[in-house]
Structure 1
Amino acid sequence: MINQFNAKEPSQNTNMLLGMVEEGVKLPDLLVNLLHMGNIPARIVRGLHLEDGRRRQPIVDMIEVYDGTEWQLFDPKTGKAGNPDAFFLWQRGAKSLLDVMGGVNSDVKFSIISQNIPTRELALTQATQDGAALIDFSIYSLPLEIQNAFKIILLIPIGVLVVLIMRIMVGLRTSGTFMPVLIAMAFLQTQLLPGLVIFISLVSIGLWIRSFLSQQNMLLVARLGAVIIVVILIMAAMSILSWKMGITQALTVTFFPMIILAWTIERMSILWEEEGPKDVVKEGGGSLLVATMSYLLMSNHIVEQLTFNFPELMLTLLGIVLLLGQYTGYRLLELKRFYPLVHSDNKQS
C-alpha cells in the first residue's frame, strides 16, 4: 500500500486519497487510518536519525504495523520495513510533542551530538545530579547547540599549529596568515574534493571580475566592498545552477567565509599585478596545501575526540606554539634555495 502511494504514476483511487494529503492530512496519519479501516493494528511512531553535529533536526514520523506476532516498522516515504540504521525511537502514538496555549506556529527541533562517556564519569554524574549546577563547569554542561559549536572551535588550534609549522619550519607561502585554517573549516562542511573545486572556482571567477574593477580606479575600501558583493552573487549563482543541474555538493558553497574570500581575491589580484601569476599560483597552491593538511588532521576522529573531551590539551598546543615562536633557524625551502651556493663553495674548496 505504501508503494502505491509513492508510485510515480499512482492510480485514480490513490490520487483521490493523496488529495487529502495536500489538504493538510499527513501521509502517515492517512496510512494508519486506512489500515484501521481494514482492522489492521497500526500506530504512528516518531524518532530521530542520529547524526553527529546535526542541528535543528525535525522529528520523523514512521508507521508500526502489527502482523499478528510482533510490531513491524515501516518508512511511509519508501515503504522499507525494519528499523533504519542509527534511528532513535522517541515516541509511540500520535500524541503531540508540544502543547502550546496562546501561541501559534510552534515547532520542535532537535540538536544531536555524539559523546563517549566513561562508565565512571556517568556514575558520578548521576550520583551528583542534585548538585550538578554547582559542580559541573565542563563543556558538557552547555546546551547541545553550543557544544556542537565548540566541537568545531576546539579544532581551530590544530589548524593553527599546521600553519605555523608549514610557515616557520618549512617556509611555505600562504595567502593570508591563517586563511588556510578558515578554508579547512569550510572543508569540514563541504568535504575535501567538492570544497577544493568550489574554492578554486570562486577565486578564479572573482579574479576575472576583479580585473575589470581594477580599471575603474576605485578606492581600496570601495573596491573591496564591490568584491564582497560580487562574491555573494557568484555564490548565489553557483547554488542555483548546481541545484538545477542536480549537483547538491555545490550547495555547500555557503559555508565558505565571504569576507575572507573577498580579501583573498583582492590580495591575489594585487599580487598578480605586482609580482605576476607565478607568485599567485605559489601562494594559492601553498594555501590550499596547508588547508588540505589542516582538514585531514581536523577531520580525524581521534583528534576530534581528544580536543573535545580534553580541552586542556589546548595548553599543550599553546606551549608548542610558544616554542615555534622562538625558532630562528633555516626553513626547509631556504635550504633548497641556498643549495647551489653551498655546492659552488664546495667545488672551489
Structure 2
Amino acid sequence: MTSDPIETRKSTEGMVDYNRNSTAQQQHAIMQADHIRRLVGKLGRVEPELRLVDYGCGPGMSAIETVRPAIAAYRARHPDAPIVVCHADQAGNDWNALFGLVAGPGGYLAGNAPLRVEAAVGSFYERLAAENSVSLGTCFFASHWLSHAVRLDAPGTVLFDHLQGAARAQLTEVAQRDWCTFLRHRAAELRQGGYLLASMMGSVPDAAEPNGAASAGRGIYRAIQAVASAMVEDGMLDPDVLNGFVFPFWFMTEAEARDWIGADKVLSDLVEVEGIEVTPALTNPTDLFHDAIGDPVEYARLYTGCVKAFADSTLRTQLFEPAARSPQDPDALADEFYRRFDAFYREHTDRYACEIWHLTVLLRRR
C-alpha cells in the first residue's frame, strides 16, 4: 500500500466529553503550576503587557489550570500590569465550552482586571501570534499530534512504535519535520527572553520493544488494535483500511526531541534549550486508572471514556468512515467498537494499562 496523506479535518476536532474524560490532561496541567509560576517570576515586568498563549488549549478545565498560575504569579508581583491571555486551537474546538469555563465560577476572569482574553483559531503548525509578542507560551498534551494523517503499510499496529522499515522511516520524517515547524513558529512569536513550555506524551528507552523505546499509552493502542482486528475477523471492518491506519502522532524520546532541535540550524539560532526530560506521571504512572482496578466495570468505563475523549474523531474519519458500506455505518461501527472496547477492558483490566511518560521541553528565545 502506498502512503497517502488523508483528510483535511484535523484529528483533534470533535473530541467527545473532553472535560469529563480528560483526567490525565487536567492532572498534568496542575502538576506544571509551580514550573509556570517560576517562569513568570523570571520574566519580570513585561511592557506593554504580559502575553500568555496556550497552544492546543482544548475545551476543558486543563486550559484554565494552565493559565491560572501564570496570572496569579504575575498579579502577586505587578498588581496593576495588563495581561493578555490567548487560547489557541483549531476551528473545531468547543470554544463555547472553553469560554464558559473561563468566565464561570471556576474560571480565572473574574476579579483579574486589567486582563484581556483572546482566541487564535488555526493550526499550531502555522503562525498564531505576532512576531516577538509572546511572553510565555504553553502547549500541553497537544504537540505530539502530527500536522496530518498518513496512510501507511502498517499491518498489526495502530501506533507508530511498532512500525518497521519504510513505514517507520516515512513517519519519522513527518514527525521530525512537524516538531521543528511547530517550534520555529513558536520561536518567531516569542519576544526576546520569552519562554515556551511544551509537555506531551513521551517514550523511554526499552530494549524489549521492537524499536528500542516504549511509548506512553501503549496499552491503550494494543487494546484498540485487538478490538479492531476482531471486528475485521467478524467482517465488520475492511482489513485493508485497518492495515493502513496509524494514529497521527509521535511520542518522542528525550534524545529525539533534543537531536531534532539541534539539527535545525534556524531553530538553534533562535532559541536556547533550557531543559528536555522524560519523566513518569506523578499520579498512577503505570496505570492511568489504577484507582478503579478493583471495579472492572468502572475501570472499563474510564478507559472507554478516555479513548472517546481523544480518539473518537480520528477513529471515525480514518477508520470507521473509510470502512463503512453506507452513510449510517460509521455511527454503527463506532457504537460497536466502544461496546467491544468496554467489554475488552472488563475482561483484561490492567493487562492493557495505560502507562504515562511526559516529555517536557523548555525553550528560551535568545
TM-score class normalised by the smaller sequence: under 0.3
- Which structure's relative contact order is higher, taking Cα pairs within 8 Å and 6+ residues apart? 2
Larger Rg: 1
Give the structure with the higher percent helix: 1
Q: Which has the higher strand share?
A: 2
TM-score for the superposition, normalised by structure 2 = 0.21
